[in-house]
A and B are shown apart, each in its own frame.
With several copies, the nearest count.
Chain A
Amino acid sequence: MLDKNGIAKRIAKELKDGYYVNLGIGIPTLVANYIPHGVSVTLQSENGLLGMGPFPFEGEEDPDLINAGKQTITTLPGSSIFDSALSFGMIRAGKVDLTILGAMEVSENGDIANWKIPGKMVKGMGGAMDLVASAKNIIVAMQHVNKAGESKLLPACTLPLTGTNCVKKIVTELGVFDVLPEGGFKLLERAPGVSVEHIKNSTAGKLIIEGEIPEMAI
Chain B
Amino acid sequence: MNKVVANAVEAVKDIADGSTLMVGGFGLCGIPENSIAALVKKNVKNLTCISNNAGVDDFGLGLLLQQKQIKKMISSYVGENAEFERQLLSGELEVELIPQGTLATRCMAAGYGMPAIFTPAGVGTEVAIGKEVRNFNGKDYLMEYAFDADFAIIKAWKGDKHGNLIYRSTSRNFNPLMAMGGKITIAEVEELVEPGELDPDQIHTPGIYVHRIFQGKDYEKRIEQRTVRAKG
Contact = CB atoms under 8 A, between A and B. Distances in A.
B124 A55 contact: no
Interface string A97-140: 00000000000000100000000011111111110011000000
Contact of A58 (B110, B201, B230): B230
B131 interface: no
A158 interface: no
A71 B227 contact: yes
A95 interface: yes
A93 to B, nearest CB: 4
Contacts, number: 246
A129 B122 contact: yes
Nearest to B201: A81
A123 B230 contact: no
A127 B76 contact: yes
Q: Is the interface of A mostly helix, strand, loop or mixed?
A: loop
Contact of A81 (B105, B108, B161, B203): B203
B101 A92 contact: yes
Interface stretch (B34-42, B62-70, B192-200): B192-200
Contacts of B78: 123-124
B228 A124 contact: no
A96 B172 CA distance: 20
A88 B230 contact: no
B145 interface: no
Contact of A87 (B89, B104, B111, B119): B104
A26 interface: no
A77 interface: yes
B58 interface: no
Q: Could you say which of A64, A81, A84, A124 has the most chain B C-beta atoms within 10 Å of its C-beta?
A: A84
A164 B113 contact: no
Contacts of A133: 119-123
B209 A90 contact: yes
Interface string B201-216: 1011011110000000
Interface of B: 1, 26-30, 52, 75-79, 85, 88-89, 97, 99-105, 107-108, 110-114, 119-127, 157, 160-162, 164, 168-177, 180, 194-196, 200-201, 203-204, 206-209, 221-231
- Give me the 8 closest cross-chain CB pairs, A-B, nearest first: A92-B113, A88-B101, A77-B196, A78-B195, A130-B101, A89-B112, A123-B79, A164-B124
Given A85-B105, A130-B102, 17 more contacts: A58-B231, A70-B29, A71-B227, A84-B52, A85-B108, A85-B112, A89-B112, A91-B113, A92-B121, A121-B88, A123-B79, A125-B100, A125-B127, A127-B100, A134-B113, A134-B121, A161-B124
